[in-house]
Structure 1
Amino acid sequence: MPTDSVQTRPSTYTDVLLTTQNLGKTSVDELSSSIGKVIPLAAAYGVTVENLSSGLAVMTANGIATAEATTYTKSMSSTNLAMPVLLSAKFCRNGYRHRASLS
């Protein structure tokens, strides 16, 4: 059974936050105050709340503060979202065209 994305299963947040707290070095209070920064972007990518939280658990367990971990996650996601657009523009400037535009 596929896991729903972040935006579709709010009833699991408590369990996931508690598990993240137990596996990482953070608290539910810290998570709840900072995870909102990255949830909209994660939801846009279809990232599950479990995957998002597991990344935060790993980062905090390795000494990264919770607020920094959510900022890093958001930054990495934003970069991955923008990269195809930037590469496409660069290729077009250099004379390359996407296959769909050649038809």
Structure 2
Amino acid sequence: NTTHYRENCWLFVMSEPTSSGTVKWFSSTKGFGFITSADGEDVFVHQSDIHAQGYRSLAEGEQVEFVLKRDGQGRNKAVSVTGVGGAFVVGERRGDSDGITHL
């Protein structure tokens, strides 16, 4: 079951079921954070798994979609993280000084 997303004529293909959630917090300084999934679970996210145009970050409260994977220690991890509908994420506003992104 493959889902296709189109953003600015760039096709992003998700070959696995996606989950949705809200960014709980994200530290652009550390390059990671957590997403609260629709079922209430906090899921780890690393900057390398974010679909962004340019700088990869997430904003607190941002709605996202992702593929849920298990890491080597059996913990859930969000990969292929996009904005709603497969769009690029919004990410942080430049100039936030605490290293944690806010809307």
**TM-score w.r.t. structure 2 length?**
0.25
Larger helix fraction of residues: 1
**TM-score w.r.t. structure 1 length?**
0.25
